[in-house]
């Protein structure tokens, strides 16, 4: 069988994998051999050196080689747990080796036989001892002498299984065919694919590993770059709708009760230029929470409708969609007809008909807008709010409702411009870098449980002044239902025991959309003084009179999420506060809290988030809507990212359609990436 075929054969054909194990692998996204060999180690165990017992020091994780002096002794201290120990002597000294295990399972050691013990040197009562991880007879088949991969595991698959499977796959395939063209390898001094794959799993030394890793980081970023570039090209080649009259935007701006900031004006100007360029707009507006992105979108929608087209806006939550609907009704009065389309609205048939026959000028909604049954008469402009909550595929699905209509995506999780320029290679970028006049920084405090009473006192003081408050509930776990239950109890307690003289409201994800709507309206109208909420208010919610937020279990949230949550206050001219409550003494938590209490700048915070968390999670769909990066760390690998970017431009200049056999595998990968983006057919 040719390598190509073999590498795409299902995981079940690997030695040692049956139906059952194959299903386990499928669960973690491994379907064929190619997926398996791309399942990279999380770290390595260096078993190359054997240390003499006299050289051991506390904290070392290493190998020692010695014959067994005394046989294993057992001390049981629980029904199903014993500690076993034996003494060894390698001529330079002796040490006690111990391990914990079930009494039923006894390792066999023979007195006098020489073993290699791999484990950790610990100190107990002032004596060095050796906590065993693994032992094997010291013969020529021993694993010692190698650097061993440590894979992230899943239930039912252990380290030894995975290592031996990986090794047998490596043995069974003579050569893994490279994805990158030879010219790209040469120019960037990259290790070839076959060698890099073998090195990343079973490196001979750490230099080897570094070179292999660099190659995979490059590959990952390079393919992402190429894919984004294609996406951009497809749209750049298309004809865009031209809106001849943009002066009507002025009319909208003049109707506002406030003066736009210069950053907002600049954003509108850039959008207007796009509207007249003859190319479809594909623009990202990045602006910190509270910088006033909604009004920019509204102005652009006004222009689209005035020019005879429909406009749509998609928001990630029902709460936010309903809020935008209300805001837009205020903006446009009865000049335009606006539809609210969410999963739960009633009279959907009539709405859909109205959208299809052009009765509605503007459609605001959730994911419901991109469902197949929604047809527009002449959609000319669509906006995705809080785009980081949607995948690239969803945002492209909205624009596909009308081929090559103008697209605006808005994000409040800003990232540094240099990075954004590369990562959102398919988008033009506008940054709203200032906030409306009169906004004050939010004072943020981090406290522990013991001063909760004082925190409530501080909240009361704000309520007495006529302000409103958010209390973000204790998170129970990653389960919306359990969090909902916790929030109900918490709200009851606050109402009864702490704030009996005020009205406490409750908002959680399990409530019916209509109930959520009612609560939000009552909060907005000031009928609810204090809103207890789960993270459903994380994005977009805008109630300028609310000026204080208490966040429980602050340690459970990432930096970007905390910043988003906090962004619910500080949206008016009132001095605003955020109280983070946590008992965690964990270093990473302390660092995050320190960042939160020292800055309000979303750009700084996201930079820090990136630094502290690495990129996997940070750039997952939830945060930025990009495919998750497996190897690259955008903070530490920024130089490789730049190289990949440059190389991408060069290659596309030389060979824009990626013709020729050298690029075959590369094209396959890009197409695969587009499957994830749910995008167009790019190579026809």
- Under a CB-based contact definition with an 8 Å cutoff, are residues 466 and 505 in contact? no
Residues 6+ apart with CB under 8 A from 448: 581, 582, 583
**Which residue's CB is nearer to ligand ADP, number 234 or number 260?**
260
Q: Please report, as residue ranges, which positions from 426 to 445 form the binding site for ligand ADP (by CB under 6 A).
A: 436
CB of 517 to ligand ADP, least distance (A): 18
Q: How far apart are the first and last CA of the chain?
A: 29
Bridge-based pairing state of the strands 114-124 and 127-137: antiparallel
CB of 323 to Mg ion, least distance (A): 9
Name which of 675, 672, 671 is nearest 683 in CA terms: 671
Residues 6+ apart with CB under 8 A from 473: 483, 486, 487, 490, 491, 508, 532, 533, 534, 552
Chain mean position to CA 180: 27
Site string for ligand ADP, 182-221 (x = CB under 6 A): ----------------------------------------
Bridge-based pairing state of the strands 577-581 and 362-365: unpaired
Residue 181 partner contact from Mg ion, ligand ADP, none using kind-dependent CB cut-offs of 5 to 8 Å: none
Bridge-based pairing state of the strands 81-89 and 61-78: antiparallel
In degrees rounded to 5, what are phi and psi of residue 32? -125, 180
Q: Considering only 120-128, 141-149, 286-294, 313-321, which stretch makes contact with ligand ADP by CB under 6 A? A: 286-294
Q: Does 41 bind ligand ADP (CB under 6 A)?
A: no
CB of 539 to ligand ADP, least distance (A): 9
Residue 295 partner contact from ligand ADP, Mg ion, none using kind-dependent CB cut-offs of 5 to 8 Å: ligand ADP
Q: Does 612 bind ligand ADP (CB under 6 A)?
A: no
Give dist(CA 317, CA 513) in Å, integer: 10
Tokens of 215: 């190659």
Distances, alpha carbon 142 to alpha carbons 110, 138, 169, 194, 550, in Å: 17, 6, 20, 25, 57
Residue of 229, 282, 294, 561 interacting with ligand ADP (CB under 6 A): 294
Residue of 7, 295, 427, 559 interacting with ligand ADP (CB under 6 A): 295
Q: Please report, as residue ranges, which positions from 363 to 422 form the binding site for ligand ADP (by CB under 6 A).
A: 412
Q: Considering only 74-82, 304-312, 482-490, 532-540, which stretch makes contact with Mg ion by CB under 5 A? A: 532-540
CB of 197 to ligand ADP, least distance (A): 45
What residue has token string 């990009």?
626
Residue of 293, 467, 556, 566 interacting with ligand ADP (CB under 6 A): 293
Site string for Mg ion, 533-552 (x = CB under 5 A): -------x------------
Q: Considering only 16-24, 93-101, 148-156, 287-295, which stretch makes contact with ligand ADP by CB under 6 A? A: 287-295
Q: Under rule CB under 5 A, how many of the chain's residues touch Mg ion?
A: 1
Residue 447 partner contact from Mg ion, ligand ADP, none using kind-dependent CB cut-offs of 5 to 8 Å: none
Tokens of 176: 């893994």
In degrees rounded to 5, what are phi and psi of residue 21? -70, -35
Residues 6+ apart with CB under 8 A from 273: none
Q: Which long-range contacts (CB under 8 A, 24 or more apart) does 417-424 make?
A: 419/634, 419/638, 419/641, 420/284, 420/286, 422/225, 422/641, 422/642, 422/645, 423/224, 423/228, 423/619, 423/624, 423/626, 423/634, 424/228, 424/284
The residue sitting closest to Mg ion, measured at its beta carbon, is: 540
Site string for ligand ADP, 547-586 (x = CB under 6 A): ------------------------x---------------
Name which of 540, 547, 551 is nearest 597 in CA terms: 551
Residue 3 partner contact from ligand ADP, Mg ion, none using kind-dependent CB cut-offs of 5 to 8 Å: none
**Which residue's CB is nearer to Mg ion, number 540 or number 602?**
540
**Which residue's CB is nearer to ligand ADP, number 132 or number 565?**
565
Site string for ligand ADP, 253-272 (x = CB under 6 A): -----x-xx--x--------
**Which residue's CB is nearer to ligand ADP, number 97 or number 537?**
537
- Under a CB-based contact definition with an 8 Å cutoff, are residues 206 and 646 in contact? no
Q: Does 287 bind ligand ADP (CB under 6 A)?
A: yes
Site string for ligand ADP, 525-554 (x = CB under 6 A): -----------------x-x----------
| Contact residues: ligand ADP, CB under 6 A | 258, 260-261, 264, 287, 289-295, 412, 436, 542, 544, 571
Residues engaged in binding Mg ion (CB under 5 A) = 540
């Amino acid at each position: 069988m040719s390598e190509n075929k073999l590498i795409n054969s299902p995981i079940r054909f690997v030695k040692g994998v049956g139906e059952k194990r194959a299903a386990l692998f499928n669960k973690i996204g491994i379907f064929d051999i190619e997926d398996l060999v791309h399942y990279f180690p999380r770290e390595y165990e260096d078993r190359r050196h054997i240390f003499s017992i006299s050289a051991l020091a506390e904290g070392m994780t290493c190998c020692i080689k010695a014959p067994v002096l005394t046989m294993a002794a057992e001390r049981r201290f629980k029904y199903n747990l014993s500690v076993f120990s034996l003494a060894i002597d390698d001529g330079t000294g002796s040490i006690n080796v111990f391990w914990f295990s079930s009494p039923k399972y006894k390792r066999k050691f023979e007195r006098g036989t020489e073993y290699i013990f791999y484990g950790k040197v610990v100190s107990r009562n002032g004596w060095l001892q050796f906590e065993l991880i693994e032992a094997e007879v010291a013969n020529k088949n021993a694993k010692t002498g190698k650097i061993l991969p440590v894979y992230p595991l899943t239930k039912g698959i252990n380290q030894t299984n995975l290592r031996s499977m990986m090794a047998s796959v490596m043995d069974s395939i003579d050569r893994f065919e490279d994805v990158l063209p030879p010219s790209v390898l040469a120019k960037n001094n990259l290790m070839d694919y076959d060698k890099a794959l073998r090195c990343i799993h079973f490196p001979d030394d750490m230099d080897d590993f570094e070179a292999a890793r660099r190659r995979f980081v490059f590959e990952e970023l390079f393919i992402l770059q190429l894919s984004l570039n294609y996406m951009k090209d497809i749209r750049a080649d298309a004809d865009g709708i031209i809106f001849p009259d943009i002066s009507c935007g002025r009319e909208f701006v003049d109707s506002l009760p406030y003066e736009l900031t210069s950053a907002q004006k600049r954003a509108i100007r850039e959008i207007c230029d796009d509207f007249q360029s003859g190319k479809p707009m594909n623009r990202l507006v990045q602006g910190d929470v509270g910088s006033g992105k909604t009004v920019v979108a509204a102005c652009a929608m006004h222009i689209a409708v005035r020019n005879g087209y429909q406009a749509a806006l998609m928001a990630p939550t029902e709460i936010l969609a309903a809020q935008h609907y209300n805001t837009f009704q205020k903006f446009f009065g009865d000049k335009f007809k606006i539809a609210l389309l969410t999963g739960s609205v009633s009279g959907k048939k009539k709405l859909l008909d109205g959208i299809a026959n052009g009765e509605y000028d503007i459609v605001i909604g959730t994911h419901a807008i991109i469902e197949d049954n929604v047809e527009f008469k002449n959609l000319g402009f669509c906006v995705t709010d809080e785009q980081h909550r949607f995948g690239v595929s969803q945002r492209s699905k909205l624009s596909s409702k009308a081929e090559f209509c103008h697209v605006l995506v808005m994000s409040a999780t800003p990232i540094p411009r240099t990075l954004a320029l590369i990562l959102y290679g398919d988008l033009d970028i506008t940054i709203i870098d200032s906030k409306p006049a009169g906004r004050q920084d939010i004072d943020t405090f981090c406290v522990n449980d013991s001063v909760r009473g004082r925190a409530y006192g501080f909240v009361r003081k704000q309520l007495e002044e006529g302000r409103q408050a958010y209390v973000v509930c204790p998170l129970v776990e990653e389960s919306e239902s359990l969090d909902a239950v916790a929030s109900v109890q918490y709200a009851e307690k606050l109402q009864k025991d702490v704030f009996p003289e005020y009205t406490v409201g409750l908002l959680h994800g399990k409530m019916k959309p209509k109930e959520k709507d009612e609560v939000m309206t009552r909060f907005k109208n000031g009928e609810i003084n204090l809103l207890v909420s789960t993270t459903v208010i994380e994005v977009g919610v805008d109630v300028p009179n609310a000026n204080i937020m208490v966040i429980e279990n602050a340690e459970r949230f990432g930096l970007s999420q905390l910043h988003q949550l906090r962004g619910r206050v500080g949206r008016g001219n009132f001095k605003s506060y955020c109280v983070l409550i946590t008992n965690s003494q964990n270093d990473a938590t302390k660092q995050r809290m320190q960042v939160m209490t020292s800055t309000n700048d979303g750009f700084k915070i996201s930079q820090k988030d990136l630094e502290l968390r690495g990129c996997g999670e940070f750039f997952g769909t939830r945060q930025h809507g990009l495919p998750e990066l497996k190897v690259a760390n955008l903070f530490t690998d920024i130089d490789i990212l730049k190289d990949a970017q440059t190389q991408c431009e060069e290659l596309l200049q030389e060979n824009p359609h990626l013709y020729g056999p050298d690029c075959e595998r590369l094209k396959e990968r890009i197409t695969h990436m587009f499957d994830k983006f749910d995008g167009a057919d790019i190579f026809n």
